[in-house]
Structure 1
Amino acid sequence: MSASIEMKLKIKKEKIFFTVTLLRCILALIVGLSLLLNRRNTALLLFILTAFIGFLESLAAGKHPSALRSVIDFFADKLLVNLTAIILAVKGIIPIWVALIILARDLITIIIGTILIYKDLRTEFKPTVLGKISYFFQLMALVQPMISLQVDWYIMGTALALTVISGIYSLIKSEFRLIRRKMEADDYRIFSLLKFADIFTLFNVALGLISIVFAMSNNFDYAAYVLLVAVVFDYLDGKIAAVMQQQNSFGKELDSLSDTVSFGVAPAIFGFSLMQYVADIKPFQLTFGIIAFTVFLFCGVLRLARYNITDMKGVYRGMPITLNGIIIPAIYFIGSIFYPLAYAKFFPYIYLLLGILMVSSLKVKKL
């Protein structure tokens, strides 16, 4: 067989695997939507189907390894588990802290891995055996609440214990296998990369997580206040980095990841939780809201990705995602005064507008 034919076959196989992985991501989103609409049987069926497809894909992909596909496959797995856990927590079926443990473990893995994917290093993502076992028990633990609306704490406890242990193990051994190029790997130790200004960035992402917890608990005033405080920390980290001359690529990437949580994910969950809290919101309005908040989040991520590859002096291209931490709380507080809760039905339109502004070519002067 000629080299060109082998290459064509390889490309076709890659396309098939990517298509299957994309299908799993779509199914995971449908699982989440089904749970939100209280269609538990549909959600359960699709949840099991998605997990089974992932299992078959991992078996087939093992014979045709690919570094890029392994990363995408990882995100597809985590999307299914984390989205299901978060929505079950929002619905009050499982405790919020259970979902947060699962989410925190995966966020740590993603953040550490992203930091290690640096200019002079390339990575091959390879989940550990312990990580795979943890993922299996997470799936098992989430099936029971969807069936009976009750938690089997024997399975859930095992899953959470494995989740924590595998998270610690991933920090020590790392699920990302580094391949050295030009620079020594020691230069990429976290404590070597971390600067004083980055501490404020970490506080920023912590505040984003706290805001999410408040929003999911229907404490919207606190959630909004915390978002405003996160804006302050986001402003301070940039100023401190400039004054102390600590501006670097690591800080830029870390800041973008933090902003994604604090001013992308947190506002989206804030808006969705507020809409759920309002009694007169109709199902189709809630569905439209889910779509709008998802588009808003996508726009925020795209805006940050564009920011990371551009270097425009003195101006931003597109509305900075940080402004969401000011605009959304402001709308919430003003609306609460003049139109208590009734304004929540307009949130999807507001979020769509903010999303468009973020990905626009609008030039905003830097402060």
Structure 2
Amino acid sequence: MEEPNNRKTYYADADEASHIYLLPNSLTAGNLFFGFLAILRCIQANYASDPALVSQYFSQAVWFILFSVVCDALDGRVARLGGRESLFGKEFDSIADIVSFGVAPTLMMIFLILSPTEQYPYFLQIGWLIGFVYLLCASVRLARFNVLTNPLLPPSKLNRANKDFMGLPVPAAAGMIASLVLVLNSLDLRSWALLMPPLMLAIAILMISNIPYPSFKEIGWQTSTRFRTFIYLIIALGVAFVFRELFFALSFFVYIIYGPIRYSYRVYRAKKRTLRMSVKNM
């Protein structure tokens, strides 16, 4: 049995649209709280003089961002499960996302490249510019999502928006950046931090692209699965716990490249189908 489809197509008045439902909005507040803590840890890492303390602060900031990802994944599901969606909740969620998945990763990248670029101020300025581009694209991506999921859109458009995300989701973008920082810290490879700006630029482009990414919204709390799939999931969770630094980075990376690969394959099949039809009509 799938999650019930309790999406409202209209609201009676402003009071109904601005309802603050406790559980889903508490999770959104948790998302914002962890994003705030991540920003604080990034600032503390920038002013810390002990390298071990710097690494510790950055690692904590990464985990706070990942906790924000978990809260963001749960708040919408909880709201849909109980039929407690509201326009207030959607706008609140976007504001929390821009803090946790926009500002926090940008500050993390800028503070990470400060030390390697001390003798190259132009590189640092380029990093700042890329950080702003990432933040801008994250904001545009969230605004576009709110438009595509607006209750005033026709049901067919809403169903399409619910099945796939248009462009790389902002939480996945931030998760990739954060998990990569976790790998750099755990392997003492902070000198490789200069790879962060190009990565953020590529991710920013994917966020505002039209490439569809799976939303997994059809997977609900009561979604049934095969026993073998359940066992694989438990094993994957065990591997994730043991190799958590590499597992998160690899998982986000696979998700990010899956979108362009699937999109390219669909375009190839569509062109091949069109060519086959044109040959038949000759």
With structure 1 as the length reference, what TM-score do the two structures score?
A: 0.47
Q: Is structure 2 residue 118 aligned with structure 1 residue 283?
A: no
Counterpart in the other structure of 1:297:
135
Q: Is structure 2 residue 192 aligned with structure 1 residue 343?
A: yes
Of the three residues 67, 73, 97, the one matched with 1:229 is 67
Counterpart in the other structure of 2:78:
240
Alpha-carbon shift at residue 196 of structure 1 (Å):
2.0
Quote the Cα distance in structure 2 between the aligned partners of 1:285 and 1:296. Answer: 16
Counterpart in the other structure of 1:48:
none
- Identity of counterpart residues, as a percentage? 28
Which amino acid counterpart does residue 359 of structure 1 have in structure 2?
Answer: I
Of the three residues 84, 97, 104, the one matched with 1:259 is 97
Structure 1: runs of 5 or more not aligned: 1-118, 121-181
Alpha-carbon shift at residue 344 of structure 1 (Å):
1.1
Of the three residues 42, 47, 66, the one matched with 1:215 is 42
Which amino acid counterpart does residue 355 of structure 1 have in structure 2?
Answer: A
More displaced stretch, 241-250 vs 298-307: 241-250
Counterpart in the other structure of 1:356:
205
Counterpart in the other structure of 1:273:
111
Counterpart in the other structure of 1:201:
28
2:162 alignment partner, SS class:
coil
Structure number with greater CO (CA < 8 Å, separation at least 6) is 2
Q: Does structure 1 retain, via aligned residues, the 8 Å contact 2:21–2:84? A: no
Alpha-carbon shift at residue 277 of structure 1 (Å):
3.9
Alpha-carbon shift at residue 189 of structure 1 (Å):
10
* Runs of 4+ in structure 1 over 6 Å off: none
Q: Is structure 2 residue 159 aligned with structure 1 residue 332?
A: no
Alpha-carbon shift at residue 194 of structure 1 (Å):
3.9
Alpha-carbon shift at residue 313 of structure 1 (Å):
2.6
Q: Deviations over 1:38-79 (max 9, x none)?
A: xxxxxxxxxxxxxxxxxxxxxxxxxxxxxxxxxxxxxxxxxx
**How many residues of Structure 1 are paired with residues of Structure 2 in the alignment?**
185
Alpha-carbon shift at residue 335 of structure 1 (Å):
2.6
With structure 2 as the length reference, what TM-score do the two structures score?
A: 0.61
Alpha-carbon shift at residue 315 of structure 1 (Å):
0.6
Quote the Cα distance in structure 2 between the aligned partners of 1:229 and 1:313. Answer: 23
Q: Does structure 1 retain, via aligned residues, the 8 Å contact 2:117–2:124? A: no
Which amino acid counterpart does residue 324 of structure 1 have in structure 2?
Answer: A
Quote the Cα distance in structure 2 between the aligned partners of 1:359 and 1:189. Answer: 28
Q: Does structure 2 retain, via aligned residues, the 8 Å contact 1:275–1:281? A: no
Quote the Cα distance in structure 1 between the aligned partners of 2:134 and 2:169. Answer: 13
Quote the Cα distance in structure 1 between the aligned partners of 2:80 and 2:164. Answer: 16
Kindly report which structure 2 residues correspond to 1:1-367, keeping only aligned pairs within 5 A, or say none. Answer: 183=13, 187=15, 192-218=19-45, 219-278=57-116, 282-311=120-149, 312-338=161-187, 340-367=189-216
Aligned Cα root-mean-square deviation (Å): 2.2
